[in-house]
A = this chain, B = another copy of it.
Amino acid sequence: MEGDFVIDGAILIGAETRQASDRFTAIDPATGQVLAPSFSSARGDAVDAAAAAAAAAFPVYAATDLETRAALLEAIADAIMAVGDDLIVRAMAESGLPRARLGGERGRTTGQLRLFAQFVRQGDWLDATIDPALPDRAPLPRPDLRRINMAIGPVAVFGASNFPLAFSVAGGDTASALAAGCPVVVKGHPSHPGTGELVARAIAGAIAASGLPAGIFSYLPGETNELGGALVAHPAIKAVGFTGSRGGGLALVRIAAARPEPIPVYAEMSSINPVILFPAALAARGPALATAFVQSLTMGSGQFCTNPGLVLALDTPALDGFIAAAAATMGTSAATTMLSPAIHAHYEKGVDALAGHRAVRTVARGCPDTGPNQAVAALFETDAASFLADRALGDEVFGSSAVIVRCRDLGEVSHVIAGLEGQLTATLHVDPADEAEAATLVPAIADRVGRILANGWPTGVEVCHAMVHGGPFPATSDNRTTSVGTLAMLRFLRPVCFQNLPQALLPAALHDANPWRVARRIDGVREASKPSS
């Protein structure tokens, strides 16, 4: 099969491939060596071509019926699997992530494509709503009014470094945009361009086999900020999905806001994911919590948006025991390769700043590194007054670094939470005896996060209907949304109302006969979902 899955550094504009003379290469972070081949560094001409192809494909793709669109998502999942082990091997080389993790991530990537397919078929996302005419209403008759969610237009997707499959070329942003009826132009992440190209070719192949317009998908490899900026600024692009750094996300937000027609940017950026250890839970199972905490912190070199970077607890002997157990576990924790030299350098800088902070004590470090770009885990502690006095102690250190904050009482825990920026998650460790106190804090915590969880760890984001992978700024740039789970589709939809339109001019889901058999809200009363097929 190898020959079927070329990596030649191409730009994909719909069905067309082209090469650029500007080139860049990927690095194997485990060795520091350059990986062959070189890749095209796409520029403005490729952006224009991809955006034009997306705009031309948009009306056709947005008008597809539920089954056509669902089948395309499933075909893309199949095509990704068909790349076979080449995909895993290339992703391992480009990311330093182990085989088991990437195999699981591939399963998650295809699983979310299939979940969106199922959700598209069901049709609830259309929010089809009909307020029938009331011709005899006084003083004025009511016209016939019908509403449906429609695709927003071509979407720019930025691949993330830390999930080369699940948050990259065919990741959650692409899947949800395609599910919504939006063509996608992906700006590939430059640290895994070979992985990106393999996936991009799989998507393009699935689209070609479907008979749908090739312009539904284009792929722009590149390493310049100018490429991303040009894509977001292009008038044909109507929304942006991004997962990455705060600086990168905010740059895209600014570009989008400065357009003649501003567009929404869904940037998932920065979070330290506070964990609160309530007294009874800490007293009952401190050492076990410590071990599990260090496992969550160091998994994947801590390179997760939901990595637990902040622990809040009362300053008690039980906390001393937790810290000692965490230190012991971390002391045996092997150094692991990070995603890229840049991420590793950034991690080291963040850890050094904490280690050198006068109000911070270094509790433990992981085992020394044995190769380039390896993360040595780091655990620090401080007290609440110091934490509150210096906002820099709450900055994200991307990687396996966490700060434990000793608090005098729950009031101080509450102060620390109130002072935090918006977060993706907050975690509570509670025993039944803690619940009354925890209940007083939950509303304020919920107000700062997208997800609140109990007696678990924030890493491991389930792809389902109830998930929210979002949260107040700067966790994301838009806290009304999620980038994981079926609700993510809503980012790329807008409601449109049809008043007194003849049947022939209405979208199918609003026809009297309901040919798509979707659940509808009639005069304010919504029907139950149709069963999944």
Contacts and interface: CB of A to CB of B under 8 A. Distances in A.
Given A145-B462, A468-B496, A529-B524, A480 B152 contact: yes
B494 A124 contact: no
Given A455-B500, A466-B129, A528-B525, A480 B145 contact: no
Given A468-B496, A521-B529, A526-B526, A502 B435 contact: yes
A146 B466 contact: yes
A189 to B, nearest CB: 25
Nearest to A62: B443
Contacts of A449: 496
A140 interface: yes
B501 A467 contact: no
Contacts of A155: none
B531 A528 contact: no
Interface in A111-159: 118-119, 122, 124, 129-131, 139-140, 142-143, 145-147, 150, 152-153
A371 interface: no
A452 B498 contact: yes
A403 to B, nearest CB: 22
A479 B150 CA distance: 11
B145 A501 contact: no
B497 A261 contact: no
Contacts of A455: 500
Nearest to A487: B495
A323 B130 CA distance: 35
A82 interface: no
Nearest to A456: B500
B454 A59 contact: no
Interface stretch (A201-209, A220-228, A470-478): A470-478
Contacts of A145: 462, 464, 466-467
- Residue picked from A150, A261, A456, A479, most chain B C-beta under 10 Å: A479
Place the interface of chain A in its size category.
35 or more
A460 B525 contact: no
A153 to B, nearest CB: 7
Query: Which of A59, A442, A482, A505 counts the most B-chain CB atoms under 10 A from its CB?
Result: A505
Nearest to A452: B498
Q: Which of A139, A477, A525 has the most CB of B within 10 A?
A: A525
A318 to B, nearest CB: 20
Contact of A497 (B450, B472, B527): B450
Interface string A489-533: 010011111111110110000000000000101011111110110
Nearest to A122: B524
A453 interface: yes
B497 A466 contact: yes
Contacts of A321: none
A46 B314 CA distance: 39
Nearest to A427: B499
Contact of A129 (B456, B465, B523): B465
A366 interface: no
A52 interface: no
Interface in A59-100: 59, 62-63
Interface of A: 59, 62-63, 104, 118-119, 122, 124, 129-131, 139-140, 142-143, 145-147, 150, 152-153, 253, 257, 261-262, 264, 421-422, 428, 430, 432, 435-436, 438-439, 442-444, 446-447, 449-456, 460, 462, 464-468, 470, 472-474, 477-482, 486-487, 490, 493-502, 504-505, 519, 521, 523-529, 531-532
25 contacts: A122-B524, A131-B464, A131-B467, A140-B460, A143-B462, A150-B446, A152-B480, A253-B257, A261-B421, A428-B501, A430-B505, A435-B502, A439-B504, A450-B495, A450-B496, A454-B500, A454-B502, A454-B505, A455-B500, A456-B500, A465-B523, A472-B494, A480-B493, A482-B497, A525-B532
